[in-house]
Amino acid sequence: MPRAGLSTTAVVDAAVQVIDEHGASQLTLAAVAARCGVATPSLYKHVGNLAELRTLVGLRVLDELADRFTEAATGRSGAEAVTALMHAYRAYATAHPARYAAMPVDPLHQPELAAAGLRQLQVIQAALRPWQLGPSAQVHAIRRLRVMAHGFASLESAGGFGLPEDLDETYRQLIDSFLDTL
């Protein structure tokens, strides 16, 4: 019986694939094991349990999004940077709707996820720098940005918009209304 050559990373890879194909609620150790060509209990050599696997997937998603953020923001500043970040956020959620649903919304409250959450935060802070906001105003501005990005992305990726009206236009209005307040 040859060895499958698994690793924690490979297990998380498989978990992400399961989520992409069947939805975040269908993430199951049995499904991941099947995809890895391994018996279910074998996964416990690489992952503590299902809850930990979920956390690792959450971390993966946070990191991926932070990478997109960094990519979108480099070489831009001000309104252009904010717009690029918002589009990167939405693009990630629509490209991987199930994965987006698996992203934890409170990364700063979980030690394993805090670093990835902070990476995202710092990119946004940098984009807002030109406006020279005070500490408190900056917090409120980042929150509003996050509310709009997450609100829109979670609704869109879950099929929550029923009418045929152009969604790009709605998103543009949201971004513009934010920029107008600065």
SS3 48: coil
- Which residue type is seen at 83? T
Measured from the CB atom, is 52 or 71 closer to its own copies? 52
Binding mask 48-87 for DNA (x = CB under 7 A): -xxx------------------------------------
The footprint of DNA on this chain (CB under 7 A) covers a number of residues equal to 21
Helix/strand/coil percent split, the chain, to 5: 75, 0, 25
Instruction: For residue 110, give both structure tokens.
Output: 């979980």
Q: Which of residues 109-168 bind its own copies (CB under 8 A)?
A: 109, 117, 136, 139-140, 143-144, 146-152, 154-155, 158-163, 165
Candidate residues 7, 26, 74, 170; the one interacting with its own copies per rule CB under 8 A:
170
**Which of 21, 22, 23, 30 lies at the binding interface for DNA (CB under 7 A)?**
30
Determine contact, residues 155/101, Cβ cutoff 8 Å.
Answer: no
Residues 85/147, Cβ–Cβ less than 8 Å = no
**First vs last Cα of the chain: how many Å apart?**
64
CA-based nearest residue to 59, from 21, 97, 111 = 111
Q: Which of residues 86-105 bind its own copies (CB under 8 A)?
A: 105
Contact 116, 66 (CB under 8 A): yes
**Residue 44 near DNA by CB under 7 A:** yes
The interface partner of residue 168, options being its own copies, DNA, none and the CB cut-off 5 to 8 Å by kind, is none
Min. distance of Cβ 3 from DNA in angstroms? 4
Interface residues toward DNA, by CB under 7 A: 1-6, 28-31, 38-42, 44-46, 49-51
